[in-house]
Amino acid sequence: MKLYRYITEDDTSDFCHRVTDALNKGWSLHGSPSYAFDAAKGIMRAAQAVTKEVEGEIYTRETKLGEY
């Protein structure tokens, strides 16, 4: 089955670490990163989609994406 995650974080090194962690766990980048200004916080936010092919059951909403 194919899994999809959308990682979001303030545009800091924490965002890069989260994406790097996903890549090292076998996830692949999907598309380009996105950036948007969060007016409430006064900061930039970053986002990156990642996907992963895994063995297993058919996807359900109870699937814990972070466990893959």
pLDDT digits (tens, 9 = 90+) for 20-59: 999 999 999 999 999 999 999 999 999 999 999 988 777 7
Name the more confident of 63 and 45.
45
Dihedral sign, Cα of residue 21, residue 4, residue 9, residue 36:
positive
35: burial class by Cβ within 10 Å (0-12, 13-18, 19+)? Answer: exposed
Over pLDDT 90: what percentage of the chain? Answer: 76
Answer whether residue 10 shows pLDDT above 90: yes
Nearest to 11 by CA among 2, 21, 1, 19: 19
Q: Identify each DSSP E strand in 1-68 by its residue range.
A: 2-10, 28-38, 43-53
Give the rounded distance of the alpha carbon of 40 from its chain centre: 22
Does 66 have pLDDT greater than 80? no
- Determine the pLDDT at residue 65: 80
**Average pLDDT, rounded, for the chain:** 92
